[in-house]
Structure formats: structure tokens, C-alpha cells
């Protein structure tokens, strides 16, 4: 975990509302892993107080850069969208637990819902470099929220939109069922990030089919380092709650007490 | 330049502390700041038994503030002694265990137990808890109950006892004098202000428990006024808390009459805030040709 100021090296929209930002990563720091996140101190003038968490969406060891995908939706992200390369941000990273390695020979199936795509891109890139033949299912409300990325050329990608404006007509979970109905349902393991209803539906499916399922959970955070107990989610066992920032954000879906 | 602060018989190295609930048990921030530079660390609350804490969501940001309803989630006295104490006992800074409970007995037996099994510098009593024997009334809202709790704890420990006052009362100076009369060595002022946020889309309170505690820059003027009044009502040190985010806000507390400070929410925003505040205090002393932190309060017209 490091706290540092670092320059923006790239910042551009990738589709309606979603942007990608690359930031310098001091090479002497331990590299971030897929599933981990960072927090950014709200720049002056945003009127915001707490640091904002963002999942790491890529790490380039050659250029010493990390990347986040963010949605422009509040004062901080609107400010970020207007930042230019060269401006610096105050970063705390890398935070939280990473996705585990896929189990044995299981084929990794990566599900991303909406802005949950960020950490799945990082995991996909990482898995591609290790000959694991992953599948990426990317769900969004409509085609305007689907970026076109070089990554999609390198990985089996299924795009699903709620309104059918691009790719499969339905949710990412519907697309998963369709994919598995086509005979791809043998030995798979799920990795997912997206809205809670999507993650819960996947958790139920994983339980019914006795497959491992890892989910990345989003929660409002205070400190993001495990001190404030503010970002918890209900879990089975322990005292009934786990801190998303330090015990997560990656959880075995069966650990979570879904409501 | 004398930066020390005396709390009971203990000399704290400098006036900048970190507030209970915002700094865990210290280890959480070990990689981010040099813990030696902190004057005093006030732990997350410890209760007799472990508590899971409140339902979610537990925190929400407000305009310049943070509303929380954590619910004293903690590992209990035994978990504290086993899991948290070894790290805390090795720290160079002063370490005060924040103790919470729902009866006088809770506070007294927890402090007595900790004194024997996990002794640190001293204790800070979080009296902003409901008293289960008095129909859930806030202990901190009653001078009589604060006096009783403080007396009970005073009787079981020789270590410094600090009472953390709640601002959610009619006359905080009455509560402050009750704590002093019962033997408190210092007062922390203040705990969070009761607040509520309602989601207009759902027409419901955002926090499941309806209300929470407000902290952050939004509460700064409230805390400064409370310290101004409390420090004039008692002769024991007052530790200023509420909305400190840098040298300016910290100095307002010291000018108002605080002998020391605790930084809370700002740790979440900038883990190095304690260093910035201490540097700011040093610079202020130099600029005003003062030799001790304790002289700062004399600059304010009474």
C-alpha cells in the first residue's frame, strides 16, 4: 500500500459516460494485481470529502502505468473527466485482495456488468498471458455503454445489451445461460464484477451448478484501509460482516450472505 | 519548543492525536505514516463482548461531512488483548483505549480487565452510548450518569481517564464539570453530532438506524465553540475534536482552549494530515515567538 502523487498520462472517453485514465506507477512499487483497487483524493473544487475507490483495469510494467475505467456520474468523476495529461492525482494503492488464480483446468468465465468492466479487463489481460482461454461476457444497458477495445480481438468476447442494441439481447446472466446452453458448460469458474443483482444471480447459478464463483463487490468506503468498518457487507461466519476494502473486494460468492 | 501535553501523570509527546474509530488499532495505517510522529492514538472502541456492528449502509458522505452508523463494531476485550494489543503495546506514541458500554458496570469491568490483560497508556470513555438500564437514554446526555460512570472507572484504574463528551446535549459544560468532579484527567470534545439523511427517491432514511453521527469539516465551528466553552468550565485539559483537516482548523481549537487535538475523518482523506498539522503548529509557535503549545490559547481575547 502506497500513498503518492502521480501524473495522468492519458485520459479519454471510451464510450458514452465511461472514460479510461492511465496514471504513472512508480516502478519501485509492488505491481497491482487484478481485482485490486486504488483511491483518489477528490481534487480541490469538487466539493467532495472522501477519497473515491476505482478498480484497476490494467497495469503496464513496461511503461510503468496503471489504468482505471470510470463512469462520469458525480462531481469527482466529472472533474476527473476534465483532467488533462500532466495533472497529478493523490493516489492510495494498491488496495484490497486480488482475484485468485483459476482452479486447475477450469475455463475462466468473466462477467462484467456496466462499469464493473474495469477489473474484468485487467483479469482478462492477465489470464490471456497465461494460456487459460478465458471468456469475457460484457453486459450493459445499451450499445452506447459498450466500448470498442483491442482487448476484444484477443479474447472470446460476448456482448449483451438489455435493449438488444448490440450483441446478445438480454442481461449478462442471460448471455451466460445461452453460452452454456451451447455446450460450453463443462468445466468453468466464474469471475464477476457488476451490480449486486447480477452478482447475486450469478452466485445462485454457481451454487446450483457447483462451480466456483468469485465476485468483486462495490461499497461506499471511508478509509479503504480496514480501519473504519464502514464498507462492510454481510457474510456467513465470523461476526457476520466483512470489510470490502481489506477482506475484499474479491469474495467467494458463497461467503456472502445475499439478501 | 515544548510540544508536550500532560494528561494526568502522563506526558504525551505532542498535541496531535488520532480519533477513535478513524484509525482502527494503528496497524491499519502503519504502511502510510510514521506512527512515532503521532502524539496519541485513540483506538477503535472496545466493549466487554465483541459486537458485529450495524446493518448497512453504515456511512454516507454529506456536504463537507461524513454521517456514520458503525455501531461500535469491535472484537471485544479478549479479541483486543489477543489480536490488537501486541501491536499497540510496541508503539512509541501514547495509546488510549476507547471503551464503550451500556451500563456503569460495562465500563468499569472492561477497564479493570484491560488494566490487567492489555495495559496501555490510559482510557477514553465513549459515553455516547445508550444506557440499557435507564431505558436507552444516552449516558453522555446526563451529568449524573457521566459522573457515575467516571467514578466507577476512576476507582478501578490509576491510569489516565479521559471522558469523551457528546455535543448532543443542552448544556455540555454541566456534563464536563460532572466528569471532572468524578475524577476525569481530561475531556475529549467532541463526539459526532446526531444527523440524518433521507433519500428523496426512496423516501427513506439512508441509514437503517435512521440517524448517525456527523463528522468532518462541516462540524468544525461546532467543535471549536464547544471547546471554547468547556475549557472555561473546567480546569483539566480539553482535547479538541471535530473537523480538523489541516493546520488552520487545528489552531482554531488550540486558540479556543484545547490542550491537545484528535484528527478523525481527515485521516481517511489524507493519511499524512497529522504530520501537516504538527508542522503547522510548530510554524505557528515560531511565528508568534511562543515556546509551548500551552501558550497558544492565551492569544485569544477572552
Give the distance from residue B181's alpha carbon to the nearest chain A alpha carbon, in angstroms.
33
Residues B294 and A234: their CA atoms lie apart, in Å, by: 47
Say what angle helices B143-156 and B172-181 make with each other, to 10 degrees: 30
Nearest alpha carbon to residue A55 among A197, A222, A219, A226: A219
Each residue's pLDDT expressed in tens, for chain A with a length of 259 residues: 999 999 999 999 999 999 999 999 999 999 999 999 999 999 999 999 999 999 999 999 999 999 999 999 999 999 999 999 999 999 999 999 999 999 888 999 999 999 999 999 999 999 998 878 899 999 999 999 999 999 999 999 999 999 999 999 999 999 999 999 988 767 899 999 999 999 999 999 999 999 999 999 999 999 999 999 999 999 998 889 999 999 999 999 999 999 8
Task: CATH 3.40.50.80 in chain A: give the residue spans.
Answer: 107-216
Q: How confident is the model at residue B47 (pLDDT cuts 50, 70, 90)?
A: very high
> What are the structural domain ranges in chain B?
5-53+72-193+215-299
Model confidence pLDDT, tens digit, residues B138-165? 899 999 999 999 999 999 999 999 999 9
Q: Which of residues 27-56 of B touch A (CB under 8 A)?
A: 28-29, 31-32, 44, 50-53, 56
Question: Can you give the pLDDT at residue A163?
Answer: 97
- Which of B23, B73, B268 is facing A51, going by the closest CB pair? B268
**Optimal mutation site among A222, A234, A238, A257, interface B, most CBs of chain B within 10 A:** A222
Which residue(s) pair with A213 in the sheet?
A190
CA distance linking residue A116 with residue B222, whole number of Å: 40
Task: Tell me the percentage of chain A whose pLDDT exceeds 70.
Answer: 100
Q: How many CB atoms lie within 10 A of CB B241?
A: 30
Q: Best mutation site among A2, A77, A225 for testing chain B: the one with the most B CBs within 10 Å?
A: A225
Q: Which residue has the cell 479478549?
A: B78
Residue pair B1/B291 in contact by the 8 Å Cβ criterion: yes
Contact A232 B267 (CB under 8 A): no
- Count of other CB atoms within 10 angstroms of residue B69: 24
Which triple of cell numbers denotes residue B178? 460532572
- Please list the active-site residues of B: 129
CATH number of A107-216: 3.40.50.80
- Write down the residue that cell numbers 455501531 correspond to: B71
Q: Which residues contact B131 (CB under 8 A, 6 or more apart)?
A: B102, B103, B137, B138, B139, B145
Taking domain B5-53+72-193+215-299, whether its CATH number is 3.40.50.720 is answered by no
Higher pLDDT, B131 or B5: B5
Provide, as residue numbers in chain A, all residues whose Cβ is less than 8 Å from the Cβ of B61: 48-50, 220
Q: Is B83 on the interface with A (CB under 8 A)?
A: no
Q: Which three-class secondary structure state does DSSP give residue B22?
A: coil
How far is it, in rounded angstroms, from Cα A189 to Cα A209?
11
What are A179's three cell numbers?
453460452
Q: Which residues contact B171 (CB under 8 A, 6 or more apart)?
A: none
Q: Name the 3-class secondary structure at A39.
A: strand
Q: Mean pLDDT score of chain B, rounded to an integer?
A: 96
Residues B207 and B194 sit within 8 Å (Cβ to Cβ):
no
Give, to the nearest 10 degrees, the angle between helix A196-208 and helix A172-179. Answer: 20
Is residue B231 predicted with pLDDT exceeding 80? yes
User: How many CB pairs (< 8 A) connect A and B?
Assistant: 96
Pick the CATH number of A2-95 from 2.40.50.140, 2.40.30.10, 1.25.50.20, 3.30.465.10: 2.40.30.10
Query: Element (H or E) spanning A190, and its range?
Result: strand A188-193
Which residues in chain A have Cβ-Cβ distances shorter than 8 Å to B70? 228-230
Q: What are B183-227's pLDDT values in tens digits?
A: 999 999 999 999 999 999 999 999 999 999 999 999 999 999 999
Tell me the pairing of strands B40-42 and B94-99: parallel
Chain A: give the shortest CA distance to residue B302, in Å. 33
* CA-based nearest distance B291→chain A, Å: 33
The 3-class SS string of B242-253 reads CCCCCHHHHHHH
Report the residue of A223, A226, A234 to disrupt the B interface, i.e. the one with the largest count of B CBs within 10 Å: A223
Q: What is the pLDDT of residues B65-121, one digit of tens each?
A: 999 999 999 999 999 999 999 999 999 999 999 999 999 999 999 999 999 999 999
Residue ranges, comma separated, of all CATH 2.40.30.10 domains in chain A are 2-95
A217 CA: distance to closest CA in chain B (Å)? 14
Q: Do the Cβ atoms of A9 and A24 come closer than 8 Å?
A: yes
Q: Strand, helix or coil at A112?
A: strand
Check residue A185 and give its pLDDT. 66
Distance (Å) from the C-alpha of residue B210 to the closest C-alpha of chain A?
A: 16
| Contact criterion met (CB < 8 Å) for A1 and B31 | yes
Q: Could you say which of A3, A229, A233 has the minimum Cβ distance to residue B32?
A: A3
Percent of chain B, pLDDT > 90?
96
Task: Tell whether B209 is within 8 A of chain A (Cβ).
Answer: no
Please check whether residue B269 touches A, CB under 8 A. Answer: yes
Q: Give DSSP secondary structure letters for A210-257.
A: T--EEEE-----SSSSSSS--SEEEBSSTTSEEETTTT-SEEETTTB-
Interface contact B269-A50, CB threshold 8 A: yes
The CA distance from B137 to A152, in Å, is 60
Amino acid at each position: 500500500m502506497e500513498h503518492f502523487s502521480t501524473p495522468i498520462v492519458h485520459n479519454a472517453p471510451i464510450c458514452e459516460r465511461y472514460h479510461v485514465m492511465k496514471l504513472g506507477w512508480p516502478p519501485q512499487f509492488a505491481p497491482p494485481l487484478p481485482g485490486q483497487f486504488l483511491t483518489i483524493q477528490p481534487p480541490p473544487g469538487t466539493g467532495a470529502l472522501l477519497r473515491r475507490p476505482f478498480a484497476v483495469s490494467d497495469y503496464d510494467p513496461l511503461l510503468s502505468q496503471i489504468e482505471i475505467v470510470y463512469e462520469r456520474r458525480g462531481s469527482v468523476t466529472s472533474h476527473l473527466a476534465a483532467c488533462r495529461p500532466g495533472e497529478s492525482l493523490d493516489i492510495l494503492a494498491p488496495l484490497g485482495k486480488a482475484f485468485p488464480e483459476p482452479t486447475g483446468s477450469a475455463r475462466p468465465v468473466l462477467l462484467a456488468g456496466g462499469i464493473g468492466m474495469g477489473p474484468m479487463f485487467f483479469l482478462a489481460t492477465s489470464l490471456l498471458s497465461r494460456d487459460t482461454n478465458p471468456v469475457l461476457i460484457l453486459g450493459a444497458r445499451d450499445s452506447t455503454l459498450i466500448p470498442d477495445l483491442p482487448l476484444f480481438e484477443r479474447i472470446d468476447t460476448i456482448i449483451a445489451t438489455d435493449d438488444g442494441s448490440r450483441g446478445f439481447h438480454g442481461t449478462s446472466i442471460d448471455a451466460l445461460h445461452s453460452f452454456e446452453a451451447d455446450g460450453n458448460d463443462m468445466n468453468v469458474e466464474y469471475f464477476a464484477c457488476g451490480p449486486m443483482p447480477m452478482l447475486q444471480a450469478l452466485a445462485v447459478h454457481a451454487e446450483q451448478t457447483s462451480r466456483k464463483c468469485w465476485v468483486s463487490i462495490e461499497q461506499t468506503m471511508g478509509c479503504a484501509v480496514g480501519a473504519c468498518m464502514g464498507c462492510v457487507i454481510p457474510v456467513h461466519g465470523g461476526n457476520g460482516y466483512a470489510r470490502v476494502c481489506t477482506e475484499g473486494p474479491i469474495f467467494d460468492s458463497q461467503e456472502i450472505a445475499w439478501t | 519548543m515544548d510540544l508536550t501535553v500532560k494528561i494526568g501523570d502522563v506526558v504525551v509527546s505532542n498535541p496531535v492525536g488520532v480519533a477513535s474509530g478513524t484509525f482502527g488499532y494503528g496497524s491499519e495505517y502503519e504502511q502510510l505514516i510514521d506512527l512515532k510522529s503521532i502524539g496519541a492514538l485513540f483506538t477503535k472502541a472496545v466493549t466487554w463482548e465483541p459486537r458485529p456492528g450495524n446493518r448497512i449502509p453504515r456511512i454516507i458522505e454529506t456536504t463537507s461531512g461524513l454521517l456514520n452508523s458503525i455501531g461500535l463494531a469491535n472484537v471485544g476485550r479478549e479479541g483486543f488483548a489477543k489480536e490488537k494489543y501486541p501491536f499497540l503495546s510496541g508503539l512509541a506514541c501514547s495509546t488510549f483505549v476507547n471503551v464503550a458500554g451500556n451500563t456503569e458496570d460495562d465500563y468499569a469491568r472492561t477497564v479493570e480487565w484491560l488494566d490487567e490483560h492489555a495495559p496501555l497508556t490510559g482510557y477514553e470513555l465513549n459515553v455516547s452510548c445508550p444506557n440499557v438500564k435507564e431505558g436507552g437514554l444516552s449516558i453522555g446526555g446526563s451529568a449524573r450518569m457521566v459522573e457515575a460512570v467516571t467514578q466507577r472507572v476512576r476507582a478501578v484504574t490509576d491510569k489516565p481517564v479521559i471522558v469523551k463528551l457528546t455535543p448532543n446535549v443542552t448544556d455540555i459544560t454541566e456534563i464536563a464539570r460532572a466528569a471532572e468532579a468524578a475524577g476525569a484527567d481530561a475531556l475529549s470534545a467532541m463526539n459526532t453530532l446526531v444527523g440524518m439523511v433521507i433519500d428523496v427517491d426512496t423516501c427513506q432514511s439512508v441509514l437503517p438506524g435512521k440517524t448517525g453521527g456527523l463528522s468532518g469539516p462541516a462540524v468544525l465551528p461546532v467543535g471549536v465553540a464547544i471547546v471554547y466553552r468547556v475549557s472555561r468550565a473546567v480546569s483539566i485539559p480539553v482535547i479538541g475534536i471535530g473537523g480538523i483537516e489541516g493546520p488552520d482548523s487545528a489552531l482554531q481549537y488550540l486558540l479556543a482552549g484545547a490542550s491537545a487535538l484528535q484528527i478523525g475523518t481527515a485521516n481517511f482523506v489524507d493519511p499524512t494530515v497529522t504530520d501537516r498539522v504538527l508542522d503547522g503548529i510548530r510554524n505557528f509557535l515560531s511565528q508568534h515567538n511562543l515556546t509551548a503549545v500551552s501558550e497558544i490559547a492565551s492569544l485569544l481575547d477572552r
